[in-house]
Structure 1
């Protein structure tokens, strides 16, 4: 199985091109800076990997419209390797993530803050008087609890 999940910040705005022909399609290329879990340097500085990503079609158009440098995103896709010979006759090896899904990793209000912290998570407040489970092992949900939940 070839499946990759990454969360990182765009190093620059996506570069979008359109294929030639009758059925032209968008192709977006961008690079994600993905923080490493552990620090590499002794000075405690965070290190990152820079991962090349390629999106096609509607995903590429979405990236062109909404993705900007510094934006934190989550992408899933597959790794594809390749090679080519450059102008100097040297063989160059490539590794790209071909995007299958992409989404925002932080709220709009946090986008201006380029810290490396993860997006804030809403934690539900515990119910001070939980109901006892019924005979089937399910808890009864009290009336009016719907207004307290962060989702519908």
Structure 2
């Protein structure tokens, strides 16, 4: 059996960083991914895929990715269900990322993270501010990784 998802798309909003009760970082964001073929009207449709990232990679994603950034996600599809406040069973499909690659440079043209820290989200998981890395690790480690435009991609 195999459960593997590879996506390339743009973030629809800044990642949301939270911490579990045991202190494990978890970030979530939505990736807008264009479909490969146009529809009957000749337009390309877009899928909006929920992505969850755990541990140190979650902190890195929250620190360096922002709305509009191009990212590649490699992971697995997870379907989970829960009961909402009205008592209805809700099923959620999301990609649990094993690897997230930053495919473009920051919007502001610099390799430093945004001046404002990621906004924590309130909810059932206690919220704590994202810790800052040690000196020397402030720069985006993926800033010079690739220099691609959308025209360079084969799809």
User: TM-score of the superposition, structure 2-length normalised?
Assistant: 0.66
Instruction: Select 2:58's aligned residue among 42, 57, 60.
Output: 60
Partner of 1:94: 92
The Cα offsets for residues 91-147 of structure 1, whole Å up to 9 and x where unpaired, read as 1111110010011223x28x57xxxx63637xxxxxxxxxxxxxxxxxxxxxxxxxx
Is this contact kept in 2: 1:105–1:119, CA < 8 A? no
Indicate yes or no: 2:29 matched with 1:30. Answer: yes
Task: Quote the Cα distance in structure 1 between the aligned partners of 2:54 and 2:36.
Answer: 29
Shift in Å at residue 13 of structure 1?
A: 0.2
Partner of 2:46: 48
Is this contact kept in 2: 1:77–1:99, CA < 8 A? yes
Task: Quote the Cα distance in structure 1 between the aligned partners of 2:92 and 2:40.
Answer: 26
Higher relative contact order (CA 8 A, sep 6+): 2
Could you list the runs of 5+ residues in structure 1 that have no partner in the other structure?
122-152
Q: Secondary structure in 2 aligned to 1:39? A: coil
User: What count of residue pairs does the alignment treat as equivalent?
Assistant: 112
Shift in Å at residue 88 of structure 1?
A: 1.6
Partner of 2:82: 84
Q: Secondary structure in 2 aligned to 1:37? A: coil
1:13-24 paired onto structure 2 within 5 Å: 13-21=14-22, 24=23
Indicate yes or no: 2:139 matched with 1:118. Answer: no
Task: Quote the Cα distance in structure 2 between the aligned partners of 1:85 and 1:41.
Answer: 37
Shift in Å at residue 84 of structure 1?
A: 1.0
Could you list the runs of 5+ residues in structure 2 that have no partner in the other structure?
109-148
Name which one, 1 or 2, has greater alpha-carbon Rg.
1
Task: Quote the Cα distance in structure 2 between the aligned partners of 1:25 and 1:87.
Answer: 25
